[in-house]
Chains A and B, each alone.
Chain A
Amino acid sequence: MFSRRTRFVLAALFITTLTFVIMDLRGGQGPFTSFRSAMSGAVGGGEQVGSLIFSPFLGVADWWGTWGDQRDRIAVLTTENDELRLLVERSAADRARAEQLDGLLRVAGVGRYEIVPAEVIAVGPAQEFAWTVTIDAGNADGIERDMSVINGQGLVGRVQSVTKNTATVVLVVDASISVGARVAGSSEIGILSGTGRQDSLEFQMIDPGAGLDPGQSLVTFGSKRGRPYSPGIPIGEVVSVAGTAGQLTRIATIRPFADVSTLGVVGVVVRPPREDPRDSVLPDSPRPSAAATVPNIILPSPTPLASASASPSPSASAIATPAGSPAPSQEVERAATPEPATGRSN
């Protein structure tokens, strides 16, 4: 079919390739290995020149090989970036909320208030001269008119009106508010009124002869069945006292604990504690050992609570409580009676 020469050349080439294959597969050192490395060097030199020539065009190869990947990666990274940024922003807000909830839980736990947590969703306009906020809990959550509203610092206000899912809270600094309050560490009581300014309240003592010093704290005295104010909620501390002991009226200026301009998470006291928590809820009340006090406070049964909470509380109140308990209870009625009247007039 083919010429003799063709067949001869083909056979020679065939034998040569097979020889190379066999010699290469045998491996080991020898003249063939050095021949191979010499040949590789020659071809490799050509490849180096080629790569020099072609290197400017290899950027195209990178582009070709990665352009789809890069677009996907950019999309993935952008999405991830957005999610992470959202997470960072949310975590800061979540931390703030968690801190507020922690404070609220501490107050509710120490004072044994049963609360419904809620968040402030709107604030009343300042030009109405009323300090009100709207919270996102209402009838459906068991909230009714004239319930106390607290936060982690203390008394915030009371519920003025309720809808199904929201409630309006009139804040303690509102000028129409008056709260029966007791000076912490003693049984001196008086009536606290809002002034319309967010950083000051007025406190008028029932007994003009009693002593009152700046730095003392006030807690709520409590109303009948805890409406509108549950007992023992911290309100604020005395900043200054006008008039001297023995004057007909003594008016003290009070700075509220709760900063009403930065309200976030609040709690509505749906059921007051069975026992007046006295001064135990106050954040700075000098307790001998907080570790010993707090577990006692949150005992499930309220009966041992009275004896347990009385012993670690400050000596003045601890002594005053058993001795003067009948006297303040009569004053409770007196102090609380005018108060709902002002509440209804709103």
Chain B
Amino acid sequence: MWGRQTVLCTVLVFAALVTQQSFLTRLGLPGATPDLLLVTVIALAFAYGPLTGAVVGFGAGMALDFAPSTAGPIGVAALIFMVMGFVSGAAVDPRDRNPPVLIGIIGLSCGASVIAFAAIGSILGDVRVDWEQAPTLLLTATLYGALLGLAVVPVVTILVGKITPEVVL
């Protein structure tokens, strides 16, 4: 089970990363970029629980940090995604899944990640953080996250059920 789970998580995270960096960022949508990577991490955390969520979040954040187009210090996204994955996985009982709650958690997490990025950037002395944009980014990130969650959560649930049937959903 562990092998298949690792492969599934790696493939999904990498696919989400590439899609986000090559496609979603270049769509030029108003406001924040739809954070497909974080949505995928949270969807996996819903399926596999907080520990796996934290590890997957750490790996996805590291990959995002190392992506050439990311300018911030390495480790920030890993820290944030790790916390998001852990909290999301802990907040939801895999045996009692309520779709509106899941979508709500995803949207709120995406909004919270915007604040977290800005806060950590400010703490680390990043002068590029523009707090005046924060409300717009927060709103759009939450909206896009919820919309992406509507599509990603069912897909991830089906894939997890097919590839690792041992996990009870």
Contact = CB atoms under 8 A, between A and B. Distances in A.
Contact of B79 (A5, A18, A42, A44): A18
Interface string B28-72: 110000000000000000000011001100100111011111000
Interface stretch (B11-19, B105-113, B147-155): B11-19
Given A18-B79, A24-B74, A57-B23, A13 B55 contact: yes
A320 interface: no
A265 to B, nearest CB: 57
A50 B63 CA distance: 15
Contact of B19 (A19, A40, A50): A50
A44 B68 contact: yes
B55 A21 contact: no
Interface residues of A, number: 36
Contact of B69 (A18, A36, A39, A47): A47
Interface in A116-145: none
A4 to B, nearest CB: 11
Contacts of A43: 17, 63, 66-68
Given A9-B55, A49-B18, A21 B50 contact: no
A61 B27 contact: yes
A6 interface: yes
Contact of A24 (B23, B73, B90): B73
A10 B69 contact: no
Contacts of B90: 2
Interface string A1-23: 01001100110011011111101
Chain B CB within 10 Å, residue with most, of A19, A47, A49: A47
Contacts of A9: 51, 54-55
B26 interface: yes
A contacts with B: majority SS: helix
A98 interface: no
B76 interface: yes
Contacts of B61: 17
B50 A47 contact: no
A39 B66 contact: yes
Contacts of A14: 79, 82
A61 B26 contact: yes
B75 A24 contact: yes
Contact of B14 (A13, A16, A18, A46): A46
Contacts of B17: 43, 46
Contact of B21 (A2, A17, A20, A50): A50
Contact of B66 (A25, A40, A51): A40
Nearest to B23: A54
A208 B149 CA distance: 112
A53 interface: yes
A307 B82 CA distance: 107
B27 A64 contact: yes
Given A54-B19, A61-B28, A17 B75 contact: yes
B49 to A, nearest CB: 9
A21 B67 contact: no
Nearest to B30: A65
A50 B58 CA distance: 22
Contacts of A23: 74
A25 B82 CA distance: 20
A158 B79 CA distance: 97
A21 B73 CA distance: 6
13 contacts: A2-B90, A9-B51, A13-B54, A17-B61, A17-B79, A18-B79, A20-B74, A21-B73, A21-B79, A46-B14, A50-B18, A54-B22, A64-B27
Interface of A: 2, 5-6, 9-10, 13-14, 16-21, 23-25, 36, 39-40, 42-44, 46-47, 49-51, 53-54, 57-58, 60-62, 64-65
Given A47-B67, A47-B68, 9 more contacts: A2-B90, A17-B82, A19-B75, A24-B75, A43-B17, A43-B63, A47-B18, A50-B22, A54-B22
* CB-based closest 9 A-B pairs: A50-B22, A20-B75, A50-B18, A65-B28, A21-B75, A39-B66, A54-B23, A17-B79, A17-B75
Interface of B: 14, 17-19, 21-23, 26-29, 50-51, 54-55, 58, 61-63, 65-69, 73-76, 78-79, 82, 86, 90, 124
